[in-house]
Amino acid sequence: MVSWRKIGVVIVALVIVLPAILLVSVNKKPANSAALHYTYSVVNVYPHDTNAFTEGLVFDGGFLYESTGLYGSSSLRRVDLETGGVLQLLGLQPQYFGEGIAVVGDKIVQLTWQSHVGFAYYRAGFGLLREFEYPTEGWGLTYDGSRLIMSDGTANLYFLDPVTFQRIGQVTVHDTGPVNEPNELEYIDGTVYANVWREEKIAVINPQNGQVTAWIDLAGIQDLKNQDPNNVLNGIAYDADGDRLFVTGKMWPHIFEIKLIPSA
């Protein structure tokens, strides 16, 4: 004989448990990205030194400034955009692997990869101004007019005082989840553009909270067939006066001036 008391207990249990199960199920659903999406058109193509393992790129005062990596061949360069010619070159000591750079007034700041050492130079002449230290790896670097912004291979962006080089804040880059390995950085109109290592895309990041607000798909911009897999997209520079956006990659033969096109 069925016990109505037992049936009542089961019904009560279901009433209590089912909403909890449904809530967990809903919370496990991945959030949809609110980021905008862009493709590109190529406006101009400029030559690029195929010996330059690009780690940092900045356009300032009519010239490109470029930091190149690899132990034994890392450098800081001033480059003519139109010809690709290297107008000035400072080689780093062989124990240093050059990484991101930023122009801060009359100086250039350069990171190194795993040495925990950065360098500040006079922009005119590349004379060494000072060295500084940081606790993480050094990847990308840019300047927002008041703070240096640095990546280190994690999903974090760090803010540094441009005088003392001490860390003064950080955010985590995220879209539907953390975005790891933002690499070369460029500050453009209040946002940070970041190459994502080994990806043919750029993340556009709100530096206030780390949220990715847009993705730029650069697939196919450079023919990478038969190329060294390390020669990835890496290098973003912006000419604020001419509103020109440039991208390149490690040991690529070209620098591309691109225009962004909203995706359907």
pLDDT in tens, 74-97: 999 999 999 999 999 999 999 999
The DSSP line for 72-100 is TT-EEEEE-TTT--EEEEEEPPTT--EEE
Report the topology of domain 33-262. Answer: Methylamine Dehydrogenase; Chain H (2.130.10)
**pLDDT band at 1, cuts 50/70/90?**
very low
- The residues that bridge with 245 in the sheet, in sequence order, are 238, 258
By percentage, how much of the chain surpasses pLDDT 70? 88
pLDDT band at 10 (very low <50, low <70, confident <90, very high): very low
Confidence check: pLDDT of 223 > 60: yes
At 257, the amino acid letter reads E
The residue type of 70 is L
* Single pTM value for the model: 0.87
pLDDT, tens digit (0-9, with 9 covering 90-100), for 178-200? 999 999 999 999 999 999 999 99
**What is the average per-residue pLDDT within 54-62?**
97
Phi, psi of 45 (to 5 degrees): -125, 130
- Over the chain, what is the mean pLDDT? 90
pLDDT band of residue 225 (cuts 50, 70, 90) is: confident
- What CA–CA distance (Å, rounded) separates 177 from 247? 26
Q: Mind listing the pLDDT tens digit for each residue in 195-215?
A: 999 999 999 999 999 999 999
Closest by alpha carbon to 111, among 85, 168, 149?
149
Residue 33 banded pLDDT, cuts 50, 70, 90: confident
Joined together, the tokens standing for residue 20 give 């909890």
Mean of pLDDT values over 144-170? 97
Band (pLDDT 50/70/90 cuts) for residue 31 is low
> Pseudo-torsion of CA 94, 64, 119, 228, nearest 10°?
-40
Q: Domain boundaries in the chain?
A: 1-30, 33-262
Contact 183, 141 (CB under 8 A): no
The band of 16, judged by pLDDT with boundaries at 50, 70 and 90, is: very low
- pLDDT tens figures, 126-140: 999 999 999 999 999
